[in-house]
Amino acid sequence: MLGHAVHRVIVVAVLAFSHASFAKDTIQDLNEHHGLADLELVQDWKNGNLAVLIRHEERCDRSSNKCLGPADGITELGSERAKKTGEAIRAHFGLDNVDVLTSPLLRTIQTVQYMVGDARQLPSRNTICGQDIIRRLFEHKNSERTLLLMTHSTCINDLIKSAGYRKSGKPDYGSLLFVRFLPEGEIEIVGKAKVE
């Protein structure tokens, strides 16, 4: 009986060590460095080498803040933060070389409208999510344009997991995850940022 308990402890320890050994470190917080003003990031944006996944702003149905409209949308505070993020994106990168896609849910549509204006709606919130998210990103990416995707925390976590990183909890409302496209259908997560 004691042998089985020791064996289970050893197996659990080996699995935990294996995950810690093979999973990449947590994602770099770009706000701790140059933020959106990082020159390499700006150049990658202009060259169309990036995808940026953005979590929608604050959900009305999960907040005590005043709603912008229907309960499945965002709050007024969320719309103000989306405008601020959009201003930062325009100031650092511009929107000339960008394809903007959005999940069809109201909270993502409202966020993208306040942030950058119009976007092409995807057929489903899961169109570019799931275990094969990296392949799906490549399918929706124009090789010479940056892809901006307004999405949900589950989709962002799908990408983090698929890229071999340790998940660091739920992404903040309005947070940006920058992804660099590499040859041979691979990606590199550059880092995350939040406009304050």
Question: Given a cut of 60, is residue 19 above it in pLDDT?
Answer: no
* Angle formed by the axes of helices 106-115 and 76-92, nearest 10°: 50
**What pTM was estimated for this model as a whole?**
0.86
Per-residue pLDDT, 135: 95
Q: Give per-residue pLDDT as tens, 84-133.
A: 999 999 999 999 999 999 999 999 999 999 999 999 999 999 999 999 99
pLDDT band at 33 (very low <50, low <70, confident <90, very high): confident
**CATH topology assigned to domain 26-193:** Rossmann fold (3.40.50)
Domain extents in the chain: 26-193
Q: Give per-residue pLDDT as tens, 143-167.
A: 899 999 999 999 999 999 999 998 7
pLDDT band at 23 (very low <50, low <70, confident <90, very high): low
| Residues 73 and 106: beta-carbon distance below 8 Å | yes
Provide the 10 A C-beta neighbour count for residue 118: 10
The number of C-alpha atoms within 13 Å of 86 and in the hemisphere containing its C-beta is 19
